[in-house]
Amino acid sequence: MSDEGGGAADPPAPGRAGPTSVYSLTSEAEYRLDFTRLVIVFSVMLAVLLEIIDTSIINVAVPTMMGNLGATLDEIDWVVTSYIVAIVIMLPLTGWMSNRFGRKRYFVTSILIFTAASAMCGASQTIDALIFWRVVQGLGGGALMATAQAILVESFPPSKQGVGQAIFGVGAMIGPALGPTLGGWLTDNYSWHWCFLINVPLGLLAATLCAANIEDPPHLVRNPHGRVDWPGITFLVVGIGCLQTLLERGNKKDWFDSAEIVLLAVATAVGLIGLVWRETTTDDPVVDFRVLLHRDFAVGCTFTALGGLALYGVIFLMPVYTQTLLGWTAWQSGLSSLPSSITTALVMAVLGNLIWRVGPRGPFVAGMVLMLFTLWVMSRLTLASGWNEVLFIQGLRGMASGMLFVPLSAATLRSLPPTEVAKGAGLYNLFRQLGGSFGIATLASILDRRSDLHEAELARHLSPVDSGTVAGLERLIDGFTDRGLDPEAAALAARHALDRMLEAQAMMEAFYDAFAFIAVLFLVLFPLAILMPREMPGKTPPAD
């Protein structure tokens, strides 16, 4: 195969599909950007967007849902948690499920399950029914991201892998930004039910297009009557399910001060240890950890877990900052993320075409440098920052995310043989999801604990005999008096205002700590970037 991807293709390697199908790991000679391929890309990405958007679409609708369903905050929290836990459980099972039922059948069925469950979520009249159908929705949605990524890997030749992963990355990055914005608009203009019902026509469209155009790859060997590893599935459900639940609820429950979190931690340890033991000793594992023996894939999974911790952490911090400290609405906060979506899409489009020529290592390192610069700019934010500063930061974040995602995904999944791509995609997305969950849980704890510490430290400098404190309080009292309050009410309002200013400044200091934590993580990862392959797998033959 020529380096530039324009020459004759090498003969198919053993276990690799020949030039009869565009769904295999396509050679340069058989690649054609035809209508069928475009429909496949559109349909699988539509399914992925629906799954990702539904992770966050109801976040801004929580108060309305609580009032409508008569649910407590803890009960409504399970509407979010149950969906994510179900997805995480299904991610590592996607390779095994594809082999057992056929990839096309499994993917289309999963879309239909997701769509039907969305309709039932929208029709739910009780909190228990809503939580149940969110679990079913997550079980259907868990197949969509990993299977779609495997399909895109197999639909593009080596020189176009960056393009395929850029298309996937645009959906993966835009989805979290669209969710709260779309959810807020639907809730304000219609009702929270439409956060789910909007999936129905789009899901049916995606399922119809996928059923008509996707085919199982020739290298897929179905095993519909093979032995089911029930102990492995049990350990997987317990270990991964409890781990994700722990990460989702740990900060809300004050971590290990809660008996629930301690129990979840014990169950997580037992489940994960049992899962690794079972899957490495059975002949028919549901999660094939042997794909981690491929060096480039193992390196990529490590990076996506630790990098996901940082990237998802930054995505989590910005809406909290804009809504909590700047007082923006959910709609304004959602709009502020638009520059990141635009710059991510532009960078991915450029890198998708360049990655074959320049290799993954260079853009990945440049992305790490840009993310460190972005974090430094974030550390300059204040309680008085405005729209322009936030938009600039979001644009930088989008550029850095694109420069990190495309080379990492393309190099990681392209390093696997065709028969293991589906298994690898499931594990790769599992590492990314768990890394992001760790990041959000860690940063939420940093914000809570460091805010309390900073508030106590700042309060030490406030004293009724301190001239600066007295002068500031008097200015506040004068301001409230000028607004028509009597002296006693003005004094009370001034003290409340001073408390709020203290709390806001303490939280701003906690945000600086969170930015510093992410920066340290990137600095630790920086020397490890040398493990990224210099050339795209498949471009040059491995050294003897």
Question: CB-based contacts of 200: which residues, under 8 Å, 6+ apart?
Answer: 115, 118, 119, 122
Same domain, 427 and 502: no
Residues 401 and 503 in one domain: no
Locate 339 and state its tokens.
């520059």
When pLDDT is cut at 50, 70 and 90, the band that residue 21 belongs to is very low
Residue 355 lies in a domain: yes
Same domain, 90 and 129: yes
Number of H helices, E strands in the chain: 19, 0
Give the relative orientation of helices 73-90 and 62-69 as an angle to the nearest 10 degrees: 110
Q: Give the largest Cα separation in the chain, rounded.
A: 88
* 316-338 average pLDDT score: 78
- Mean per-residue pLDDT over the chain, rounded: 78
Residues 188, 51 within the same domain: yes
Each residue of 276-296: pLDDT tens digit? Answer: 888 888 877 888 888 888 888
Tell me if 169 sits within 8 A of 49, measured CB to CB: no
pLDDT, tens only, 460-476: 766 555 555 656 666 66
Last residue of a domain, one of 171, 200, 223: 223
Domain that holds residue 499: 453-511
Whether residues 188 and 111 fall in one domain: yes
In a domain, 3, yes or no: no
**pLDDT on residue 310:** 76
Residue 2 lies in a domain: no
Same domain, 424 and 478: no
Q: What's the rounded Cα separation, in Å, for the pair 191 and 184?
A: 10
Beta bridge partners of 537: 540
Q: How confident is the model at residue 4 (pLDDT cuts 50, 70, 90)?
A: very low
The CATH number for 413's domain is 1.20.1250.20
Return the pLDDT at 185.
77
pLDDT average, residue stretch 345-356: 77
Report residue 542's pLDDT band, with 50, 70 and 90 as the boundaries: very low
Asked if residue 7 belongs to a domain, the reply is no
Q: Greater confidence, 396 or 1?
A: 396
Same domain, 501 and 471: yes
Tell me the DSSP string of 462-513. Answer: --TT-HHHHHHHHHHHHHHHHTT--HHHHHHHHHHHHHHHHHHHHHHHHHHH
Q: How many domains does the chain have?
A: 4
Measured distance CA(500)–CA(508) in Å, rounded: 12
For 382-419, what is the HEC assignment?
CCCCCHHHHHHHHHHHHHHHHHHHHHHHHHHHHCCCHH
Q: CA angle, 469 as apex, 467 and 470 as ends, to 5°? A: 65
Chain centroid to Cα 531, Å, comes to 24
Same domain, 322 and 385: yes
Is this structure's pTM higher than 0.85? no
> 64 and 163 share a domain?
yes
Count Cβ atoms below 10 Å from residue 182 Cβ, excluding itself: 18
Last residue of a domain, one of 269, 285, 301: 285
Q: 355 and 471 in one domain? A: no
Is residue 368 included in any domain, yes or no? yes
Please check whether residue 15 lies inside any domain of the structure.
no
Q: Are residues 52 and 103 in the same domain?
A: yes
104 is a domain residue: yes
Q: What 3-state DSSP class applies to 1?
A: coil
Question: Is 14 part of any domain?
Answer: no
pLDDT, tens digit (0-9, with 9 covering 90-100), for 352-373:
777 778 888 888 888 889 989 9
Encoded amino acid at 177, one letter:
A
Among residues 285, 306, 322, the one where a domain terminates is 285
Report pLDDT digits (tens) over 134-183. 999 989 988 887 788 777 777 766 666 666 666 776 666 667 667 777 77
**108 in the same domain as 246:** no
